[in-house]
C-alpha cells in the first residue's frame, strides 16, 4: 500500500514553520508518518481535496511516497482490506448467542480504540441490530473505524479473525 513520509523539508517545516504552510496543509503534514495510507488519512481528516493537498506537498518537497508498513500478511489481512470478500465466505446462519458476542465485540473494540464518547452512531446502530445480516451490513463501517486508529490498525488482522468467527 502507498503511504507518505516527511522529507527533510517537511521535518524543517514542522520544527520551524519556515515555509509558511496554510493551516490545512500543515495539519496534513503533521499527520504524515510513513505508515498512514491515503485511505487512513482520508478517514481521519475528511478533506475532499486531500489527494490534491498531498500532491501539492509532494511537489513542493515536503513529503514523498513510500511503501506502507501495514501490508501485514495472511488471509485475515486480506479480508480486513476487502470487507465484502470477508462476509462472502461466512455461513448464512449462526447460533443465537453469537449475535450478542459479535455486537459486544464490535462495541468493545470501538470503545477500546476510540473511547466511549466517539463512534456513538455506529455503537447505537450495532446495539439496534436484531440479526446477523443487519450486523454484517455494519462490518465495513467497523473496519473503517479500526483503520482510523494506529493501534487498532496494527491489530486489525487478529481482530478481524475474532469478529468473523461470530458475526
Quick check: 35 and 48 in contact, CB under 8 A? no
Average pLDDT over residues 54-63: 93
Q: Residue 96 CB: number of other CB atoms within 10 A?
A: 8
DSSP track, 28-65: HHHH--SS-BHHHHHHHH--TTHHHHHHHHHHTTSEEE
How far apart CA 112 and CA 92 sit, in angstroms, is: 29
| Spatial separation of the C-alpha atoms in residues 14 and 16, rounded to whole Å | 6
Q: What is the pTM of this model?
A: 0.54
Query: pLDDT tens for residues 71-90?
Result: 444 444 444 456 667 777 78
Give per-residue pLDDT as tens, 23-58. 999 999 998 988 888 888 887 887 778 889 999 999
- Residues 6 or more apart in contact with residue 13 via CB below 8 angstroms: 19, 21, 26, 29, 62
SS (H, E, C) 87-109: HHCCCCCCCHHHHHHHHHHHHHH
DSSP state of 119: S
Give the Cα separation of 16 and 31 in Å (integer): 16
Amino acid at each position: 500500500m502507498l503511504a507518505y513520509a516527511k522529507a527533510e523539508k517537511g521535518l524543517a517545516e514542522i520544527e520551524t514553520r519556515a515555509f509558511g504552510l496554510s493551516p490545512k496543509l500543515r495539519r496534513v503534514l503533521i499527520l504524515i508518518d510513513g505508515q498512514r495510507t491515503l485511505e487512513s488519512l482520508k478517514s481521519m481528516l475528511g478533506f475532499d481535496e486531500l489527494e490534491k493537498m498531498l500532491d501539492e506537498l509532494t511537489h513542493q518537497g515536503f513529503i514523498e511516497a513510500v511503501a506502507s508498513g501495514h501490508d501485514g500478511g495472511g488471509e485475515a489481512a486480506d479480508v480486513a482490506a476487502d470487507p465484502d470478500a470477508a462476509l462472502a465466505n461466512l455461513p448464512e446462519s449462526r447460533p443465537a448467542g453469537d449475535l450478542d458476542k459479535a455486537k459486544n465485540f464490535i462495541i468493545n473494540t470501538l470503545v477500546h480504540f476510540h473511547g466511549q464518547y466517539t463512534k456513538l452512531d455506529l455503537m447505537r446502530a450495532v446495539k439496534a441490530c436484531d440479526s446477523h445480516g443487519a450486523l454484517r451490513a455494519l462490518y465495513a463501517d467497523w473496519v473503517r473505524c479500526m483503520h482510523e486508529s494506529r493501534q487498532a490498525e496494527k491489530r486489525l488482522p487478529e481482530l478481524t479473525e475474532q469478529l468473523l468467527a461470530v458475526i
